[in-house]
Structures are given as C-alpha cells and as structure tokens.
Amino acid sequence: QVQVVESGGGLVQPGGSLRLSCAASGFTFSSNAMKWYRQAPGKQRELVGTITSSGRTSYADSVKGRFTISRTNVGPLMYLQMNSLKPEDTGAYYCYVTWSGRDYWGQGTQVTVSS
C-alpha cells in the first residue's frame, strides 16, 4: 500500500538548519509530484512547497529562499532542507502525495525552533 514516512525533525536554535526526509513506497514515485505541508499549534495546515516529477519546485512565500525541496529515485526519498530557521517555522511537518485519486499523508515529524 501507499506509504510516506517523514523523519529528521528535532529541536534547533533560531538561525539553524535541519533536513527532513520523506521515504515513499507503494506507488510510482518517479512520476508523481510530492508536497511538504506543516501545521503549527492552533493553526491550519499549510503548504510549504511542491516538487514535480521533473524536479521543478515552488514554495510558500514564508519559506522562499530558506527552504529547498529535492528528490531522488534512490529510496525513493524526498527532502526538505531548512536553513535560517525561525521560531515561526515550529510545527509538525508532513509529506503528502496523491495517488489514484486518494490523498496520502505521513504521520508527521516535529520541528521546534527555540533558543
């Protein structure tokens, strides 16, 4: 079955970096766009960015220039490189894919940016 599993979250100081990973299985990863979402406490889940099957990326304005999404068919894996982290980046980060008309979410990985 389709699975996406996030990892790599943790506690980091403001200005620091983290790299999240999303391990995918059960679908044709190479032909699918993938997305990262996040949800801060008490707020709605929001789109962080998208990577197409060809590797084209787009980002929310709030993370543009600081976050980078990449992917590899080895694994296969999707990554979210987060630099210059701010306290407002704190939240649970989710990997997302649509396959055969259904939405699939990972369990999330927690990122906390605090001194």
Q: What is the pLDDT along the chain (115 residues), one digit of tens a residue?
A: 999 999 999 999 999 999 999 999 999 999 999 999 999 999 999 999 999 999 999 999 999 999 999 999 999 999 999 999 999 999 999 999 999 999 999 999 999 999 9
For the chain, how far is it from start to end, CA to CA, in angstroms? 40
Q: What is the pLDDT of residue 69?
A: 98
Alpha-carbon distance of 50 to 67, in angstroms, equals 11
Alpha-carbon distance of 78 to 73, in angstroms, equals 9
Q: What is the pLDDT of residue 97?
A: 97
Q: What is the pLDDT of residue 47?
A: 98
Token reading at 111:
């990122």
Q: What is the pLDDT of residue 20?
A: 98
Q: What is the pLDDT of residue 27?
A: 94
